[in-house]
């Protein structure tokens, strides 16, 4: 049986991932991130090689036990949940992992805080609480992409509230030839005092309570842009 699940059912092929999308006929096409992500992970039936390489320096024998496509994590305040392209539960010698995976090709990482924050009380509460979950102060540059913050908060919230995991990871799985949006990703890591950020490396960010927080940018195998 597959370790990946879509809409409460195990998958049997990459095409099953299509039915998790909000606009399947628009989003499910060769060359798109949803297509590439599905074919890459279904082919591996576990962590793809580039993800294994990312994890190995930090985790011994990391094994994916279950993955949910378009997994939703409730964010603080009212409004939409954070939709994770793939959310994985894993085990390792160092403890349990929650891994949120965001697939990218040429898509942006969404609006900056400046554009997203309308000044409403709810959005201010949501942002402040998200920042608490990922160990950042409220006073961060408003040029940071909001999507990166709530995607990083997703595994942190799920790890502590649902899965009782010791490690929370957010991974950008990019199939772009140009590493588009990498500068925005590096700007997030700069908030944790990390510079000279490189693709293919998992970075430990900090501990928030008993939870250890990590992020990394993995370069996916481009052949999956067209399928297997």
Q: Is the pLDDT of residue 45 over 90?
A: yes
Enumerate residues 6+ apart whose C-beta is below 8 A from 166.
94, 95, 96, 97, 159, 210, 211, 212
> Where residue 1 falls among pLDDT bands split at 50, 70, 90?
low
Residue range 132-190, pLDDT digits in tens: 999 999 999 999 999 999 999 999 999 999 999 999 999 999 999 999 999 999 999 99
């Amino acid at each position: 049986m597959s370790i990946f699940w879509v809409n409460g059912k195990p998958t049997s092929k990459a095409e099953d991932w299509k039915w998790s999308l909000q606009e399947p006929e628009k989003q499910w096409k060769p060359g798109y991130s949803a297509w590439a992500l599905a074919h890459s992970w279904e082919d591996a039936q576990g962590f793809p090689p580039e993800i294994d390489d990312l994890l190995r320096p930090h985790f011994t024998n990391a094994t994916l036990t279950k993955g949910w496509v378009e997994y939703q994590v409730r964010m603080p305040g009212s409004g939409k949940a954070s939709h994770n392209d793939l959310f994985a539960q894993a085990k390792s010698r160092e403890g349990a992992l929650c891994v949120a995976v965001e697939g990218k090709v040429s898509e942006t990482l969404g609006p900056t805080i400046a554009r997203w924050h309308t000044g409403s009380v709810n959005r201010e509460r949501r942002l402040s609480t998200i920042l608490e979950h990922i160990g950042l102060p409220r006073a961060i540059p408003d040029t940071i992409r909001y999507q990166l913050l709530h995607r990083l908060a997703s595994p942190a919230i799920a790890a502590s509230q649902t899965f009782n995991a010791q490690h929370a990871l957010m991974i950008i799985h990019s199939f772009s030839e140009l590493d588009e949006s990498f500068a925005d990703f590096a700007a997030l890591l700069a908030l944790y005092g990390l510079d000279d950020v490189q693709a293919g490396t998992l970075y430990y960010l900090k501990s928030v309570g008993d939870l250890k927080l990590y992020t990394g940018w993995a370069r996916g195998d481009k052949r999956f842009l067209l399928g297997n």
